[in-house]
Structure 1
Amino acid sequence: MPNKLLAPSGPGRPKDLIKRQAILEAAKSLFLSQGYDGSSMDAIAAEAGVSKLTVYNHFTDKETLFSAAVKAKCQEQLPELFFELPPGVPIETVLLTIGRGFHGLINSHESVEMHRLMVALASQNPKLSQMFYDAGPQRLLNEMERLLSKADLAGQLRIDDASRAADQFFCLIKGGANFRLLIGCTSPPQDETAEQHVRGAVDMFVRAYRPD
């Protein structure tokens, strides 16, 4: 349902930030339901309950808005704070938090539908595919690479190639179940099943990179 009425701005929540969030939510909804080409800036503005000029004031074009919507979805589940390594906190604890967030992200309805959309558009719009990758998967890989480099310096892990290790970690969390979900052969893992999978993946990763 279109968000015709924006919530009133309150202390600490400037009206511009509320409008920006409304635009992002409208964009995510329309990109998934109408596809990229079928989602005009006019339609996004109407869905968000703002003027078209307001949309362009926040996002210069549809490509920028698409990239911002992908990034916003990732940050909902995996904020940058998750990739910090506070003193005295075991790396296992940090990896479990990231693993749970990533597992929830990739198995969410929005992410599954977006993945299917990008596969469908891959041969038609490689530039859009690259924008999606840079805003979503690549950002997470960069954050994980920095975290693993910190863990190596702190002596909690021994990692020669943090970029490769970051890729391995996310592949372990995805597992085969995510592929089956993408092609419609199963439903998203829930509760204890999801927790056991994440814990098993983190345990395997830590054992592989634990210092001798």
Structure 2
Amino acid sequence: MAKLSGTPPERIIAAARRLFFGQGFERVSTDLLAAEASVSKATLYKYFPSMNAVFRAVIDAEIDVFESGVPAAMATPADFETALVHYGTNLLNFLNQSEIIQFTQLMFEEARAHPDVAREFYAAAYGRTLNDLSQIIQHGLSNGFLVSSLTVDELAEQLLGMWEGFRFIQAHLGLTQTPFEQPQQWSEKCVRTLLRS
């Protein structure tokens, strides 16, 4: 076990990430997590009232990583397209990681037996991604960079569906280790398809 550095919450999140990604949510106890993070159970509960809260913090931290660097200023249609492409490229690079593929597989396996974990995973991962992407798309619609009869949420779902497509499913099934060979090029193609529709 590698020695973790940082504040207690940072150590808890880092240890939880390693444990959740390696074993899934259900197999990680508070005792194990506290020991891995080098904190007491009281300290664990001081910062996170439940394992679901720890789980949510881990997922939020992962999404923060792939959202970083997405252009915030979108003054022109080209800026808007760049922001969408960048967001998609970051997402696809994130989904290309073998540990993310493995973690998602574990979450899907646990989802039926543990609906609360499934809801938390969906809200933290897919729900937040849809919300953030919807905000970018809303900016494009509000400024006339994109015209569509679909709602903002429908457009976000459509773009996410194009980005992930069957490639991420193939990774879940073990048919490929790298679902997105050229993330930026694939993101660009999907964004251009959306903008032309």
Query: C-alpha distance in 2, partners of 1:129/1:83?
Result: 31
Q: Is the counterpart of residue 168 in structure 1 residue 167 in structure 2?
A: no
> Deviations 1:79-108 (Å, cap 9, x if unpaired)?
4x7373433462111011101111112222
1:94 corresponds to = 83
Please say which of residues 117-126 and 29-38 is displaced more in the overlay: 29-38
Letter of the aligned partner of 1:171 in structure 2?
Answer: G
Partner-residue secondary structure (3-state), 1:82: coil
- Give the one of 18, 38, 41 matched to 2:27: 38
Taking the TM superposition and a 5 Å limit, the aligned residue runs for 1:175-186 are 175-186=165-176
Whether 2:142 is the aligned partner of 1:153: answer yes
Superposition map of 1:1-212 within 5 A:
1-3=1-3, 6-7=5-6, 18-79=7-68, 82=70, 84-88=72-76, 90-160=79-149, 161-189=151-179, 193-208=182-197
Note the C-alpha offset of 1:113: 1.5
Distance 1:171 1:201 in 2: 9
Q: Is the 8 A contact 2:80 2:145 kept in 1?
A: yes
Shift of 1:190: 6.1
Counterparts of 2:129 and 2:72 in 1: how far apart (Å)? 13
- Contact 1:35 / 1:117 at 8 angstroms: preserved in 2? yes
Structure 1: state its 5+ residue gaps. Answer: 8-17
The letter for the 2-side match of 1:86 is M
The residue identity in structure 2 corresponding to 1:163 is D
User: How far, CA to CA, are the matches of 2:5 and 2:134 in structure 1?
Assistant: 39
Q: CA distance change for structure 1 residues 2 and 44 in 2, over 3 Å: closer, same or farther?
A: farther
Query: Is the Cα–Cα contact under 8 Å of residues 2 and 48 in structure 1 kept in the other structure?
Result: no
- Structure number with greater CO (CA < 8 Å, separation at least 6) is 2
Counterpart residue number, 1:11? none
Q: TM-score, normalised by structure 2?
A: 0.90
Q: Counterparts of 1:190 and 1:134 in 2: how far apart (Å)?
A: 24
Structure 1, residues 15-67: CA drift from partner, whole Å, max 9, x if none?
Answer: xxx32222111101111222222211121122122222221111111111111
Q: Which residue of 2 aligns with 1:10?
A: none
**Secondary structure at the residue paired with 1:90?**
helix
Q: Structure 1: how far apart are the matches of 2:160 and 2:135?
A: 14
SS at match of 2:10: helix
Cα RMSD of the aligned pairs, angstroms, is 1.9
